């Protein structure tokens, strides 16, 4: 099933009683969540729409949300975000509670519509709830778009910003942004950010051109640090080195790049620790004071590193920074060694 198929079910109100969407394309998941909430707009949502933080709920709350009858409507809508029973680590649900919830779902009243939305990967092998939902309803994995859908998505995104985009320029943009690399953590949220940035630069009614793409996609040092972390995480040493060379060619500071890399890897380490403690996405965002886009990006990148490798990279940055300032090593050589070492972690 593709996202368009499920959206059509939303549009025609032919949704299965139970549905699950998950994956790394957080923007697409948000689109489906918004569509689900729109379904409840004409059904007294204050009474008939329940939104549950799946990492803070328990069996009683889930059962109550599912079995409570709708008020002055034929449907009751239940949205469950990041439900812990789709993950390996659990706090509020044991095996007995999982079995009971599966029984409830199997006998779920026709008045209930449930959407589980998991922002990231889930445990499809061990989660009994996942297997039950797969049999009873629709499951949609939000992975990278294929070439045709990606092209269409980018074209529509530029058109929404009132930018004309010819096919050749669109293909050039897509190739340069690095989305199609299956090992890259670049997502549609990253593409939207770049599209909005280019659109604002060009102005409404103008056409996309390669010169603007080159200027804006490669001129922001902080954006390039994100891309470099992508390349390091996917162990693409060559691309990481090429990106570094381009940053320096355009006047970037090596020590400044070190500082940004250290800051971002430290944030990734903090995110992993908070995730291990089962802290919700919104709580992480508020705790760390990050914009949603930045947190989405760092959360996605965190999947490519374990804690040990992140600590080793941060230590290497500190060691090389010290060596450069002490005159023991040239800054360029230190940066190249760092990239090669980090890409092998």
Whether residues 188 and 205 share a domain: the answer is yes
**Per-residue confidence band for 64, with pLDDT thresholds at 50, 70 and 90:** very high
Q: Which helix (H) or strand (E) holds 119?
A: strand 112-119
Whether residues 181 and 239 share a domain: the answer is no
Q: Which residues of 87-124 are buried (b: 16+ CB within 10 A; e: fewer)?
A: beebebbeeebbeebbebbeebeebbbbbbbbbbebee
Whether residues 199 and 272 share a domain: the answer is no
Whether residues 22 and 39 share a domain: the answer is yes
Q: Which residues are 12's β-sheet partners? A: none
Whether residues 108 and 189 share a domain: the answer is no
Q: Is 74 or 6 the better-scoring residue by pLDDT?
A: 74
Whether residues 20 and 83 share a domain: the answer is yes
Q: How far apart are CA 3 and CA 5, in angstroms?
A: 5
Q: How far apart are CA 128 and CA 112, in angstroms?
A: 21
Q: What one-character DSSP code corresponds to residue 50?
A: E
* pLDDT of 130 strictly over 90: yes
Domains identified in the chain, total number: 3
Whether residues 238 and 319 share a domain: the answer is yes
- CATH classification of the domain holding 203: 1.10.8
Whether residues 182 and 268 share a domain: the answer is no
Q: What is the pTM of this model?
A: 0.65
Q: Which residue range(s) make up the domain with 288? A: 221-343
Helix ranges, the chain (H): 3-12, 26-39, 45-48, 59-67, 95-106, 128-136, 147-160, 167-177, 188-202, 210-217, 221-233, 237-249, 254-276, 281-288, 292-302, 307-325, 331-343
317: exposed, middle or buried (Cβ count in 10 Å: 0-12, 13-18, 19+): buried
Domain end position, chosen among 94, 127, 142: 142
Domain end position, chosen among 119, 142, 165: 142
- CATH classification of the domain holding 7: 3.40.50.300
Whether residues 162 and 188 share a domain: the answer is yes
Whether residues 10 and 135 share a domain: the answer is yes
Cα 161 off chain centre by: 22
Whether residues 18 and 115 share a domain: the answer is yes
Q: How far apart are CA 21 and CA 31, in angstroms?
A: 11
Q: How far apart are CA 192 and CA 203, in angstroms?
A: 16
Whether residues 88 and 212 share a domain: the answer is no
For residue 327, is it left (φ>0), alpha (ψ between -120 and 50) or beta? left
The pLDDT of residue 26 is: 87
Q: How far apart are CA 164 and CA 83, in angstroms?
A: 41
Domain end position, chosen among 156, 188, 218: 218
The pLDDT of residue 252 is: 64
- CATH classification of the domain holding 315: 1.20.272.10
Q: 290-303: per-residue pLDDT in tens? A: 878 788 889 989 99
For residue 139, is it left (φ>0), alpha (ψ between -120 and 50) or beta? beta
Q: 265-298: per-residue pLDDT in tens? A: 999 999 999 988 888 888 998 888 887 878 888 9
Q: How far apart are CA 317 and CA 99, in angstroms?
A: 48
């Amino acid at each position: 099933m593709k996202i368009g198929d499920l959206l059509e079910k939303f549009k025609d109100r032919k949704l299965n009683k139970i549905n699950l969407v998950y994956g790394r394309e957080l923007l697409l998941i948000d689109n489906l969540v918004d569509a689900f909430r729109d379904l409840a707009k004409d059904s007294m949502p204050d009474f008939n729409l329940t939104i549950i933080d799946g990492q803070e709920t328990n069996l009683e709350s889930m059962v109550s949300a599912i079995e409570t009858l709708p008020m002055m409507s034929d449907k009751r809508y239940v949205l469950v975000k990041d439900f812990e029973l789709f993950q390996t680590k659990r706090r509020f649900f044991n095996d007995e509670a999982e079995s009971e919830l599966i029984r409830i779902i199997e006998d779920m009243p026709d008045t209930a519509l449930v959407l589980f939305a998991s922002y990231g990967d889930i445990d499809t092998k061990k989660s009994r709830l996942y297997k039950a939902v797969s049999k009873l309803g629709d499951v949609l994995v939000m992975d990278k778009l294929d070439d045709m859908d990606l092209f269409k998505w980018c074209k529509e995104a530029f058109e929404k910003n009132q930018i004309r985009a010819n096919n050749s320029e669109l293909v050039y943009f897509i190739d340069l942004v690095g989305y199609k690399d299956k090992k890259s953590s670049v997502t549609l949220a990253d593409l939207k950010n770049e599209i909005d940035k280019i659109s604002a630069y060009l102005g409404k009614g103008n056409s996309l051109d390669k010169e603007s793409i080159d200027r804006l996609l490669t001129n922001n040092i902080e954006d390039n640090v994100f891309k470099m972390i992508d390349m390091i995480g996917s162990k693409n040493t060559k691309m990481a080195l090429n990106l570094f060379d381009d940053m320096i060619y355009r006047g970037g500071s090596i020590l400044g790049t070190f500082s940004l890399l250290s800051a971002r890897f430290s944030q990734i380490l903090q995110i992993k620790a908070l995730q291990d403690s089962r802290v919700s996405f919104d709580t992480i965002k508020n705790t760390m004071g990050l914009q949603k886009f930045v947190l989405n990006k760092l959360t996605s990148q965190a999947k490519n590193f374990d804690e040990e490798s992140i600590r080793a990279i941060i230590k290497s940055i500190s060691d090389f920074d010290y060596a450069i300032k002490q005159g023991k090593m040239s800054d360029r050589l230190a940066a190249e060694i760092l990239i090669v070492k980090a890409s092998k972690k």
